[in-house]
Amino acid sequence: MSSTYQVIARKWRPQTFDDVVGQDHVMRTLRNAITRGRIAHAYLFVGPRGTGKTSTARIFAKALNCTGGPKADFDVNDPACVSIAEGSHLDVIEIDGASNNGVDQVRDLRETVRYAPAQGKFKIYIIDEVHMLSAAAFNALLKTLEEPPAHVKFVFATTDPQKVLPTIVSRCQRFDLKPIPPELIVERLKAIAVAEKIKVSDAALACIARLADGGMRDAQSIFDQMISFCGAEISEPDVLDVYGLVAAEKIVALAAALAAGDHRQIVALVDECDAAGRDLVRLLVDVQALVRTALLDAIAQGGKSDRLGTPMTTEQLTRMLDGLREGEGSVKLGLAEKINFEVTLLKAVEASRARAIDSLIKELTALADEAPPADEKKKG
């Protein structure tokens, strides 16, 4: 075969502002900045992995250095845009902060910054994982970042903004990219499935979106792996088997058993999931998500929700969620995963049944206020 295979995450990488899913607030601001000619000299894209930071940086570079640019609605087939997408454009320099984190590399960058662009209108430096730069490298970058030549633009991307020096952040326009909602991931994967001629069930796509935790790249990589495993037809059980996920209805059943305080059912469901080789850490995260949904419903409904099958108060759901969260570490890192998981679930049930001492005092005070005084009782 003459054509080389490309993984889905690369083949379907966003190429224009319209292609980026779930980050409308960022795309709108960047588009407006380009249209109105208000282009800053440094940008910082922050967000979890696979949410589109580097893709957005490249798209922004295309918008700035396209033929006749800067313009937000550029032609993806424009030779300048094609060379940026391929990584061969002379004026768009991508640097990996993890492997080029020394002060010497930044000094080299400071030297090259002075030279005028060779092809485009701007010289654009995209530094990925910028938080990996050393303190000395950051300090070497500061002066250049504060007063760069007019033809230079910096675009930084990071998953860990706390590690970026505040003096660097203050010199950038910061954009926070959010985890992508599951429904938007499903929608995107459906479009890819149609184009790739893959038959995939909605339940399977929902499982992939749940696994991806808000990362489009993760979702596409999982989808790619499922195609390798299943071929042209993917069903929910296939995804569950490959990744050790628990079916949605079983998660609902476990949450319902927690709400009802049905210890026997809880233990039976955990046995069943463990025997099937399911990922108990992932199951704990999924149960937490369900209990959180019920908690938000209780808050919206004025203090009570029957979303888990049994009416529960906001306080009960908060205590249950807290109990599940507290046990996370022991399930992840403990030696006896199944036992720790069972104990965490049972403790969460007991926590939800317990009453906060302040709420009990309030209730007793209210009852005392309603009760008739002692001398009235004697007269009666």
**Digitized pLDDT (tens) for each residue of the chain, 380 residues in all:** 345 778 898 889 999 999 999 999 999 999 999 999 899 999 999 999 989 999 999 999 999 999 887 889 999 999 999 999 988 888 898 888 877 766 777 778 888 888 888 888 899 999 898 888 888 888 888 878 888 888 999 999 999 999 888 888 888 999 999 999 999 999 999 999 999 999 999 999 999 998 898 999 999 999 999 999 888 899 999 999 888 888 888 999 999 999 999 999 999 999 999 998 899 999 999 999 999 999 999 999 988 999 998 899 999 999 999 999 998 888 888 778 899 999 999 999 998 887 666 666 777 787 777 777 655 555 55
- Dig out the tokens for 114 from the structure: 């002075």
Comparing C-alpha atoms, which of 209, 231, 232 is closest to residue 222? Answer: 209
Which part of the chain has CATH 1.10.8.60?
182-243
Which part of the chain has CATH 3.40.50.300?
8-176
Report strand pairing: 312-313 vs 304-305.
Answer: antiparallel
- The architecture of the domain spanning 182-243 is Orthogonal Bundle (1.10)
Comparing C-alpha atoms, which of 30, 32, 42 is closest to residue 173? Answer: 42
**CATH T-level topology, domain 248-358:** Zinc Finger, Delta Prime; domain 3 (1.20.272)
The reported pLDDT for the residue numbered 1 is 38
CATH of 8-176, one of 3.30.365.10, 3.20.20.450, 1.10.3720.10, 3.40.50.300: 3.40.50.300
Which part of the chain has CATH 1.20.272.10?
248-358
DSSP string, 54-92: HHHHHHHHHHHHSTT-S-SS--TTSHHHHHHHHT--TTE
Residues belonging to the chain: 380
Comparing C-alpha atoms, which of 1, 23, 10, 4 is closest to residue 223? Answer: 10
